[in-house]
Amino acid sequence: MQPQPPRHPIRKRRAAALASVTVLTLAVSTSAGTGHLTAGAPGTGTGPAGLPLSPALTPCMISGATTVQMSEGIPTNGGYARSTGTVHALTLMVDFSDAPGEGNALDRFHEFFPQTREWFRTASYGRLDYRPETPIREWLRMPKPFEKYGVERGAPFDPGYRQLVKDIAAAAGPGVDFRDYDLVNVLMTPNAGPSALDTVLSVTFAGNPEAPVANGVAIANVSFIYSRQDDGSGTYDTTGYRVLPHENGHVFGLPDLYTQEGGAAVGHWDIMSEDWGANNDLLGWHKWKLGWLDSSQVSCAAKRGSAEYTLTPLTRAGGPKLVFVPLDGHTGYALELRTRGGNDEEVCRPGILIYKVDAEVDTGQGPITVHDARPNSDGCTRSPNVQTELSDAPFAPGQTFKDPKARIRIDVTSADLKGNYRVRVTRQ
Ligand SMILES: [Zn+2]
């Protein structure tokens, strides 16, 4: 019998989720009356992704109430960084007198690059050209010791992080113009704070118009990366960078999919659910939300009756990728074909992944739930840090998903020699 994957690092992510929630509450409440998160200035890459809109898709563009701070709704609220085209990511390596950077600051940079840039290129089918930029190639020393900022898990933006952002802007000096960048990555020296095995401090403050201003723009979208997500399995060099695309996912407006129970709602099917362990991709819903799918690649099954659709593997560029079955204005079922390839290294049973999206459910509360085609099977993977139960969740040809209450039936009818699947959606 193989050992259980060490899941404790994932559970510890709870605190980071709470931090995001706390800060976003502040951002929303302080921007009331001035428009939701609109204070970002040009140059910070504000506004939703440039979604190609089609009238046929309108019933599938679900949305949440304004009280939802980080919603799965489409389109994404304004204030987050652009997720298509060329995105300039100011990347700073930061240290402290009580946690001095060890070795070359660029070695810290290379723990995350070029992998993060490649991850986004692959996930976006080349639609996001992510450019990490390092105008300062040494450790940027903060004026106060690390312990003075009060950084711990669940720490809110005020006062510690606000001070940190101010100090970073001041220390960067006139050589860095924050108007030139869409988002900021702060790569902390790994000796600042606890090991990620004990506590994950990495956190993102996103869409925050109340952030300190530098060069006339609010530093509204910042990801802070601490420690090393090294589970001791010997894979840090190939998988340790994955915390950064997760944190940057928040900068682009994506919520956390893991909950108090860890990754049990979505498993390893999205990097916003699990960013430890083998590489994974984003859900098709997130790719649509980020502007990485054309309207021709998305089908909206809103009408009564029966209709058939072809789906091509999500990892492969081009072709139909997503069928959405709306239930009402804020929820629906998404269907996509997941196979091993591209960023999806750990798919052990390919097939049609079916999940419910609820735009009214906030980050970290379970906005997405994957339906398991084989419940209580204990899954098909034993890869470290991969949620096992949902690893065999996809539906195979011949299998059927039913929601009797909503009178919806989804049949996976066939797979062809090219690896494409056919599904039939029936709405009574
Ligand atoms: Zn997160």
Query: Could you give the percent of the chain with pLDDT greater than 90?
Result: 85
- By three-state DSSP, how is residue 122 classified? helix
Find the mean pLDDT for residues 401-423: 98
pLDDT of residue 12: 33
Same domain, 215 and 312: no
Lowest mean pLDDT among 1-10, 133-142, 171-180, 387-396: 1-10
Domain at 111, CATH number: 3.40.390
CA of 272 to the centre of ligand 1 (A): 6
Task: Please tell me the distance from the alpha carbon of residue 352 to that of residue 292, in angstroms, as a whole number.
Answer: 20
CA of 185 to the centre of ligand 1 (A): 14
Same domain, 226 and 367: no
pLDDT of residue 19: 39
Same domain, 178 and 316: no
| pLDDT higher than threshold 70 for residue 1 | no
190-208 pLDDT per residue, tens = 999 999 999 999 999 999 9
Estimate to the nearest angstrom the gap between the alpha carbon of 138 and the chain centroid.
29
Same domain, 337 and 398: yes
Name the nearest CA neighbour of 5 among 405, 398, 382.
Answer: 382
pLDDT of residue 46: 33
pLDDT band at 304, cuts 50/70/90?
Answer: very high
CA of 12 to the centre of ligand 1 (A): 11
Lowest mean pLDDT among 5-14, 330-339, 382-391: 5-14
CA of 2 to the centre of ligand 1 (A): 29
Q: Which of 251, 266, 298 is the last residue of a domain?
A: 251
Instruction: Say if 276 falls within a structural domain.
Output: no
pLDDT of residue 51: 63
pLDDT band at 14, cuts 50/70/90?
Answer: very low
For the record, the structure tokens of 16 come out as 């980071």
CA of 420 to the centre of ligand 1 (A): 32
Find the mean pLDDT for residues 331-346: 98
pLDDT of residue 317: 97
Note down the domain range covering 310.
284-427
Torsion of CA 73, 76, 78, 81, to 10 degrees: 150
Same domain, 313 and 179: no
Q: Which of 251, 271, 302 is the last residue of a domain?
A: 251
Same domain, 205 and 308: no
Q: Is the pTM of this model over 0.85?
A: yes
For the chain, the domain total comes to: 2
Q: Which of 232, 251, 270 is the last residue of a domain?
A: 251
CA of 119 to the centre of ligand 1 (A): 17
Find the mean pLDDT for residues 358-382: 97
CA of 194 to the centre of ligand 1 (A): 18
Same domain, 303 and 193: no
Query: Cα angle vertex 246, ends 254, 173, to 5°?
Result: 100
Instruction: Say if 271 falls within a structural domain.
Output: no
CA of 169 to the centre of ligand 1 (A): 24
CA of 122 to the centre of ligand 1 (A): 20
Q: Mean pLDDT, the chain, as a whole number?
A: 89
Same domain, 216 and 289: no
CA of 110 to the centre of ligand 1 (A): 22
219-278 pLDDT per residue, tens = 999 999 999 999 888 999 999 999 999 999 999 999 999 998 899 999 999 999 999 999
31-60 pLDDT per residue, tens = 222 222 223 333 333 334 456 678 999 999
Instruction: Say if 242 falls within a structural domain.
Output: yes
Instruction: Say if 84 falls within a structural domain.
Output: yes
CA of 151 to the centre of ligand 1 (A): 17
What are the backbone angles phi and psi of residue 287, rounded to the nearest 5°? -65, -35
91-142 pLDDT per residue, tens = 999 999 999 999 999 999 999 999 999 999 999 999 999 999 999 999 999 9
CA of 156 to the centre of ligand 1 (A): 14
Task: Please tell me the distance from the alpha carbon of residue 405 to that of residue 407, in angstroms, as a whole number.
Answer: 5
Find the mean pLDDT for residues 378-389: 94
| pLDDT higher than threshold 60 for residue 83 | yes
Find the mean pLDDT for residues 399-417: 98
CA of 95 to the centre of ligand 1 (A): 23
CA of 21 to the centre of ligand 1 (A): 10
pLDDT band at 16, cuts 50/70/90?
Answer: very low
CA of 236 to the centre of ligand 1 (A): 19
CA of 260 to the centre of ligand 1 (A): 13
With b for 16 or more beta-carbon neighbours within 10 A and e for fewer, the 7-42 pattern comes to bebbebbbbbbbbbbbbbebbbeebeeeeebebbee
